[in-house]
Structure 1
Amino acid sequence: MESFLSKSIVDFFIAFGVVFGGSMLAGMGSVFVMAAPAAIMIDTASRLKIWALVAAVGGTIDPMRVIESNMLEGHLSPVVQQVFYILCAFLGAHMGTELIRWLCKGAA
């Protein structure tokens, strides 16, 4: 149980970090090209959301294979675990996106 919970938390923060860190760095880069940082950050956060999810769950098709093979064999516990990992990663990416939107709300 401990590894399940720790992997869920790590997946959340990986996805959150990809979105938040990538958007912050894009905002800093936009200063060099004289573009509006807030607009660039919001756009980057939206575009990075799906990639943050992919990075957090492993970056390959393996989670989908685990779901498929265990579902066909009738083993639902691994399927629920994989879906929960994906849900935690999505929640992290979404919270990172919303934090960037909130930070840039007054500037955009």
Structure 2
Amino acid sequence: MGDFWSTTILNYCIALGVVLGGSFLGGIGAFFGNKPPMDAMLNLSEQLKIWALVAALGGTFDTIRTFEVHILGGELSQVFQQLIFILSAFSGAHFGTLLIRWLIQGDLGG
């Protein structure tokens, strides 16, 4: 069970890091490109959410294949674990977006 929790935390942190890192570095790029960095960071944080999920899960095809194999095999506990991994990655990506919004606008509204 320790491997399950470490993978869950790892998925969360990877997704969070993709959104934060991509947004901050994109903001630096926008600054050097003479564009408004704060606007670029807000837009990037929203656009990077799905890619953060994909990066954290190691590719969506593996996750979908795991669902297929375990549902057809009747191993519902494994399906539940995969759902937790997906929710963990989504939570990390969403929290990263909220952090960027809060840093720029001072607003955590949804």
**Above 0.5 in TM-score?**
yes
Matches within 5 A, 1:1-108: 1-105=1-105
SS of the aligned residue for 2:34 comes to coil
| CA distance, structure 2, for counterparts of residue 78 and residue 66 of structure 1 | 8
Letter in 2 for 1:18: V
SS of the aligned residue for 1:61 comes to helix
Q: Once superposed, what is the RMSD of the aligned Cα atoms?
A: 0.9
Structure 1 residue ranges without an equivalent (≥5) = none
When normalised by structure 1's length, the TM-score is 0.94
Letter in 2 for 1:19: V
Percent of aligned pairs sharing the same letter: 52
Moved more, 56-65 or 44-53: 56-65
| CA distance, structure 1, for counterparts of residue 59 and residue 30 of structure 2 | 28
When normalised by structure 2's length, the TM-score is 0.93
